[in-house]
A and B are shown apart, each in its own frame.
Chain A
Amino acid sequence: MHPLSLSTKNLTRKGFRSAALVFALALVVCLLFAGAIAVKSVSTSITLGAQRLGADLMIVPEGYEDTARTTLIAGKPSVFYMPESVLDRVRKVKGVRRATPQLFIQSTDFECCTYVDVLLIAFDQQTDFTIGSWLKEAIDRPLADNETIIGRSIPVSTGTTMKYFGTPLTVVGDLATTGLEYIDHAAFMTMATARQMIRNSRVDAEQTLDIGEDMISTVLVQLDPAITPERAKVFVEYEIEGVKALTSQDVIGSVKRQLQVLIRTIGGIGLSLWLITILLIGIVFSMAVNERKREIGLLRAMGAKRKNIFGMITIEAVLLSLAGGVLGLVAGGFLLIVCREPMRNAFKLPSLWPEPMFIFLAALFAVGAALVSGVVAAAWPAYKSSRMEPYQAIRKGE
């Protein structure tokens, strides 16, 4: 007979009590694990969004600030337009070092397939400083007219020619998955191609694009390091009527606030649950040890050493914690999968899973936390019962 079997038999004897402790621990582990993954996922999305912006300011027509923000972070494609003249006026604003226009065209017809929802993004290769660098990973030369680089979610292979609004676009490369819907569903092209497309749509397509010749969607701005985005934003909005300037703080800010609330809520609940669980385990183990005083005394009288008794009780805690930990991980994983959609809608975020290493570490940490709480909570009762004088233990157990 192995000493371990004493522990397992004690746990199964009080099946309900053991199960209650396992569930309490599972709850903590589930919360810690799912919380860590959720927070990490959200913050990854935010940083990605800010990175995608790649500029100090994003200038959009007034009234479209929220739409633009949603596009950048949630990646929900959306389009808006303003006159191209904004570009020149932006360039004259104090502190602006570089400015480059982009034009978004929402497609709903894709000639050959049923595929919809491609966001066509035109950019100006001469002045671009934002997306060019990662387009370069797809092809190592400037994009020619009627060529396109596509996001990963568009199921078309390189070399294919697609036709939008009567304009052929030959796919010359594709991007890695970004998790941002508007990039993954985007087709990038030159500004000249976009202009041609608008013209073609009037003669040669089922649907006409109602976009003026001299319209753009946004101007992306790089500032002199001497000026803060906040100040530049004020200059831009003061000098050019009808536009708003988004700083990356603007873009990230609202989500960050939500994120902080999330962290604080999960953290708060998790911490209090954790403490309560430690307390609970401590109380239950003290009670259990009290009930088993005679047994412990008898074992000591038979030759069990102090460390045998301490070990027996600690192992019970370890077994409970491990069971709780594993159950909690399973529940947490399940929760994450089930809550993915609601989360995504609540935070308007793309659903990015953190990398496997992070998930692994989070799981390890959560189970470790359960283990530590179990062992810490049981340590004192285990120690005390191991120090009892056998005769007193046997008598008191009567």
Chain B
Amino acid sequence: MIKITSLTKIYRVGKEMFKAVDNVSLNIGAGEIVSIVGHSGSGKTTLLSLMGGLTAPDSGSVVVDGVNLWSIDDDQLAELRNSKMNFIYQFASLLPTLTALENVLLPTMFSRRKKDKKDAARLLDVVGLADKASAYPAELSGGQQRRVAIARAFINDPGIILADEPTGDLDEDTEAEIIGLFRHMNREQGITFVIVTHNTALAAATTRTYRMTGGRIVVA
């Protein structure tokens, strides 16, 4: 599903060269739930962004479903991002001008797939926010915003979900619910998950766990 080969991402800060991701190779099969753990600054978010085609590597390749992300043009890459994978970010990622429901529907704006308000409302219901459909992000708590973002990640029926600390600001009960949801989606729809987490419970629930230190991957 996702095949990463000798992936390296270098940041240049002034004259310093900094390898945020250092020669990483890994294979993630369809239907897997993989977790990535590691200290802050170890390169987890950078790796996830490379997998999702949000940033170009300095060397190495990312192949998703047989497509090398950096051999296709930008429009094709955008279409691939829209249809194949979705992100759940570490930070607040809702558009402040849109209601919760509209935020969930946002990815459909750029796709040919037919999804309507009913689908969005159902997803909001699944994350426990049925009554907040017409609320704006400013009217939601951090955890509620996070759950809207999670609902949004599923709207386009992506094959892959790349989640960056998805349970970061959720209480234990909600966290357990979200983990349950991920496992449910994985089982029912065969969605592949790559989850960056500090949370041991979440990591334990995954099929495989990688540990990152200083941009390198070590299997935990």
Contacts and interface: CB of A to CB of B under 8 A. Distances in A.
A305 B54 contact: no
Contacts of B95: 6, 295, 298
Interface string B86-113: 1101010101111000100111111100
B110 A392 contact: no
Interface of A: 1-3, 6, 9-10, 12-13, 294-295, 297-308, 389-392, 394, 398
A394 B107 contact: no
B74 interface: yes
A149 B97 CA distance: 71
Contact of A303 (B82, B96, B105): B82
B78 A1 contact: no
Given A295-B95, A302-B81, A303-B82, A394 B108 contact: no
A392 B74 CA distance: 15
A301 B97 contact: no
A398 B91 CA distance: 9
11 contacts: A1-B105, A6-B95, A13-B97, A294-B93, A297-B54, A300-B54, A301-B52, A301-B54, A302-B81, A304-B78, A398-B91
A10 B56 CA distance: 29
Contact of A298 (B55, B56, B93): B93
A388 to B, nearest CB: 11
Nearest to B82: A303
A270 to B, nearest CB: 35
A26 B97 CA distance: 26
Contact of A390 (B54, B83, B102, B108): B54
B56 A1 contact: no
Interface in B174-214: none
Contacts of B110: 299, 302-305, 308
Contacts of A398: 91
B98 A303 contact: no
B75 interface: yes
A390 B105 contact: no
Interface residues of B, number: 31
Contacts of B98: 9
Contact of B55 (A2, A10, A302, A392): A392
B86 A302 contact: yes
Given A1-B108, A298-B93, A298-B95, 9 more contacts: A6-B95, A10-B97, A294-B93, A300-B81, A302-B106, A303-B79, A303-B107, A389-B55, A390-B54
Contacts of B107: 302-303
Chain A interface, >50% SS class: helix
B49 interface: yes
A305 B78 contact: yes
A3 B110 CA distance: 8
Contacts of B52: 301
A306 to B, nearest CB: 6
Given A10-B97, A389-B54, A390-B55, A305 B74 contact: yes
Contacts of B111: 303
Best-buried of A303, A306, A392 by chain B (most CB within 10 Å): A303
A307 B73 CA distance: 13
Nearest to B105: A1
Contacts of B56: 389
Best-buried of B74, B97, B105 by chain A (most CB within 10 Å): B97
A301 B55 contact: no
A6 B97 CA distance: 8
B9 to A, nearest CB: 10
Given A1-B108, A13-B96, A389-B54, A300 B78 contact: yes
B102 to A, nearest CB: 6
Interface in B149-163: 156
A1 to B, nearest CB: 5
B139 to A, nearest CB: 15
A258 to B, nearest CB: 51
A368 to B, nearest CB: 30
A303 B115 CA distance: 15
Nearest to A295: B95
A394 B54 contact: yes
Nearest to A300: B78
Best-buried of B49, B54, B86, B156 by chain A (most CB within 10 Å): B54
A308 B54 CA distance: 16
Contacts of B87: 301
Contacts of B97: 6, 9-10, 12-13
A387 B210 CA distance: 33
A395 to B, nearest CB: 9
A162 B184 CA distance: 102
Nearest to A398: B91
A302 B89 CA distance: 12
Nearest to B50: A391
Contacts of A3: 109
Nearest to B108: A1
A72 B75 CA distance: 68
The 10 residue pairs across chains A and B that have the minimum distance between CB atoms:
A303-B82, A391-B55, A391-B54, A9-B97, A303-B110, A391-B49, A390-B54, A302-B107, A305-B78, A303-B81
Nearest to A294: B93
Contacts of A10: 97
Contacts of A13: 96-97
Contact of A1 (B75, B89, B102): B102
A291 to B, nearest CB: 11
Contacts of B79: 303, 305
B207 to A, nearest CB: 25
B83 A303 contact: yes
Interface in B48-64: 49, 52, 54-56
